[in-house]
Structure 1
Amino acid sequence: MRLTTTLVFSLLPIAVLAGRSSDTSHIRARHAAHAASLHARDDAGYNGTTSGGNPPYNIHEHYQGQSFFNDWSFFEGDDPTHGSVNYQSRDQAIAKKLAYVKDNVTVLTVDSTSTVPVGGKRDSVRLTSKKTWDRGLFIADFAYMPHGCSIWPAYWSVGPNWPMAGEIDILEGVHNQQTNQYTLHTGGPCSLPADGSGIDAIGSLIWHGCQSQPTDNRGCGFLDSDTRSYGAGFNSAGGGVLAHEWNSQGVKIWFFPRAEVPADINSDHPNPTSWGRPIAAWSSKFCDFSSVLYQHSLIIDITLCGDWAGPAYSGSGCPGTCAQAIADPANFAAAKWGINYISVFQS
């Protein structure tokens, strides 16, 4: 199923974006072609307890190094967000060095050597975890991330039959965006207070309606204020850790720059109760998460232009057009994910 009438935030300076919460001028059809996989649980691998008498988080999956590609599927179809990319199979991606491991860092990248015609497509990758989850604590440690003109990278999770099982956008932006945007999309009713009251998050609320509508798919999102949370600033800081906790109380997301990663994360004994207020939070006070989020896979991709980055290009400060940016391989030197690891914990 492909959606073509949903809407999105256009990329604007923070002050402008905050003032245009009712703007529905740009189209963003999120990944409706996602194929559902069988839900799997694995109770093996106990790895300690959290402090303070809280129920323990047990290691469920750990993705790192050479084994990373065994546990994720390479998406090979047309980009559901209409980006100008040719997603590569595992064999193609490895042969073209778009997916490889260097110094135990898993690298995913866009072709940065070929010149393509204006209006053409560039080779890229999109990976989906083979397992799915209904809740848990998810910790992703990135050494660096893609950014630049025409580039739309995302680390996110999604369930089957989009948008009915929901979507959580954990690390996402376009072009040379300064800070990260965190967004929740649901198929069922879900809305945060428009005035931000009762929301336990330090990020700026940029829209309150989470439910995807035929004419509005902005989702309910938060904007970070830390320039180390995205793009060039993220990479200059040595990367960092994105942690999101999904349980019966709702969903919370934390961002930790490299120099501020909690010791309990580095020791594989994560204790979210010690991390302070999250950047983004969606409480079960406002949404029935048992019905709007389920069977989520993790996804990492790099698309170009498409339903968000395309319309946002004219306001990005990038030269020429989005199609012209894609044609020039020099624009993609920094279009790389460097993944130290992704771990999934269950309680």
Structure 2
Amino acid sequence: MVRPKSTLFSGGAVLAFLAQATSAASPKYTLTQVFNSTNFFSEFSFFSDPDPTHGFVEYVDAPTANRLSLAGYSQDGVYLGVDYTNTTKTGRKSTRVTSNKSFTKGLFIADIAHMPASASSSCGLWPAYWMFGPDWPNSGEMDILEGVNTQKSNSITLHTAKGCEMANTGSLSSTKLTNGNCEGNTGCGQSTAATNNYGAGFNEIGGGIYALEWTDDHISAWFFPRNSNTCNSLESASPSSAPDTNSFGTPLAKFVGNGAGNCSIPSHFKNHNIVFDTTFCGDWAGQVWEQDDTCKALADSCEDWVGQNPKGFQEAYWLVNDIKIYQQVEDPSAGQTNWGLGIQRKPDEERRMRRFEA
């Protein structure tokens, strides 16, 4: 695959909204926020502090990301990449961005065309699309799309302070609850089975849509592969209507708080910012390096491999088409904004990246 070539940013893309008629049995949502190539880098901030998960990474600020072409717009989507040209002894340059706005409850629809992963080797990678609140872990964390090294399927995990036990009643039968106690770093996780919802398998099909519904009673996640019926209908639906989660089918993962579980979701989850990042090694990918036969055959340590093999990370980038956030509001007209309509995305052999205004 040919990598993006930098050209000056000359305008923004518009998006086609999802939606289906809302049924009486599901929450009545109103579109309140859209992040896409018309506004993404004014709505998200770059994180350039040391990695809290102790990764072998150097997160860069916005001017550096722009100058090194580690972030920008490509194929009318948002590109977030890493350095794949230089060796390093201190950590590979990468991007981590956080939404300026925070959210409590709602339906979060993320159309992602590519995630950091490679068919040849994803060793050392730890990408994540996630949400978290202030004073971690007291306001909670939701890891929606995350994994490490040669992992083939997505791991969906919640993290809270003490006192939150979740059940997975209502999840796909192939999804397994690995731990019900959501407290701290381990969290309560669900491991999925499909190989097209994460990593190289995800990229091979052009990604798809991840939907997360957050209510007082449950937190549910769905994945709709590119060109699936649901993905197509969400992409082409009228912008004036709202999604009906009853039509989504069985969630890929469902966390039940009250009832089958023992967790007050409103008490443990609030004011979440959205994050995309790509780190390396660290507290997860690095800790399990020796347990992965493919990875440990490449180098004695995760840091050695990541530092000395930049070409291994040419596919370590996010390409996000858009993120749409629906919430329940008292005045539906308050959420209606002319975000721009009519985008026609076409896959290009050569994806040219446009810089953003840092």
Quote the offset at 1:51 in angstroms: 2.8
1:150-169 map, 5 Å: 150-169=124-143
Q: Which has the higher contact order (CA 8 A, sep 6+)?
A: 2
1: distance between equivalents of 2:21 and 2:213?
14
The one-letter code sitting in structure 1 at the alignment partner of 2:66 is I
**Does the aligned pair in 2 maintain the 1:84–1:304 contact within 8 Å?**
yes
Quote the offset at 1:182 in angstroms: 0.2
**Partner residue, 2:21:** 50
Selected match of 2:144 from 170, 179, 183: 170
CA, structure 1 residues 136+313, in 2 after alignment: closer, same or farther (shift >3 Å)? same
Matched pairs, number: 292
**Does the aligned pair in 1 maintain the 2:208–2:225 contact within 8 Å?**
yes
Q: TM-score, normalised by structure 2?
A: 0.78
**Partner residue, 1:80:** 52
**Partner residue, 1:346:** 327
**Partner residue, 2:105:** 135
Q: TM-score, normalised by structure 1?
A: 0.81
**Partner residue, 1:274:** 247
**Partner residue, 1:221:** 189
Quote the offset at 1:192 in angstroms: 3.0
1: distance between equivalents of 2:205 and 2:76?
19
**Partner residue, 1:19:** none
2: distance between equivalents of 1:145 and 1:237?
11
Deviation string, structure 1 residues 148-175 (Cα, Å, up to 9, x no partner): 1111000000000000000000000001
Moved more, 125-134 or 322-331: 322-331
1:331 is aligned to 2:312:
yes
CA, structure 1 residues 291+69, in 2 after alignment: closer, same or farther (shift >3 Å)? same
1: distance between equivalents of 2:18 and 2:95?
32
The one-letter code sitting in structure 1 at the alignment partner of 2:63 is D
1:254-333 map, 5 Å: 254-260=222-228, 262=230, 263-266=232-235, 267=237, 268=239, 269-285=242-258, 286=261, 287-316=263-292, 317-318=294-295, 319-320=298-299, 321-327=301-307, 328-333=309-314
**Partner residue, 1:37:** none
**Partner residue, 1:252:** 220
1:259 counterpart SS class: coil
1:207 counterpart SS class: coil
2: distance between equivalents of 1:49 and 1:227?
28
The one-letter code sitting in structure 1 at the alignment partner of 2:56 is S
**Does the aligned pair in 2 maintain the 1:154–1:172 contact within 8 Å?**
yes
2: distance between equivalents of 1:103 and 1:192?
39
Deviation string, structure 1 residues 117-137 (Cα, Å, up to 9, x no partner): 3xx211101000000011110
Gap runs ≥5 in structure 2: 1-16, 329-358
1:96 is aligned to 2:68:
yes
**Does the aligned pair in 2 maintain the 1:48–1:56 contact within 8 Å?**
no
1: distance between equivalents of 2:110 and 2:19?
19
2: distance between equivalents of 1:261 and 1:156?
26
1: distance between equivalents of 2:77 and 2:18?
23
CA, structure 1 residues 340+73, in 2 after alignment: closer, same or farther (shift >3 Å)? same
CA, structure 1 residues 346+205, in 2 after alignment: closer, same or farther (shift >3 Å)? same
**Partner residue, 1:7:** none
2: distance between equivalents of 1:64 and 1:192?
33
1:94-133 map, 5 Å: 94-117=66-89, 120-133=90-103
| Identical positions, percent | 38
CA, structure 1 residues 311+48, in 2 after alignment: closer, same or farther (shift >3 Å)? closer
Quote the offset at 1:188 in angstroms: 3.5
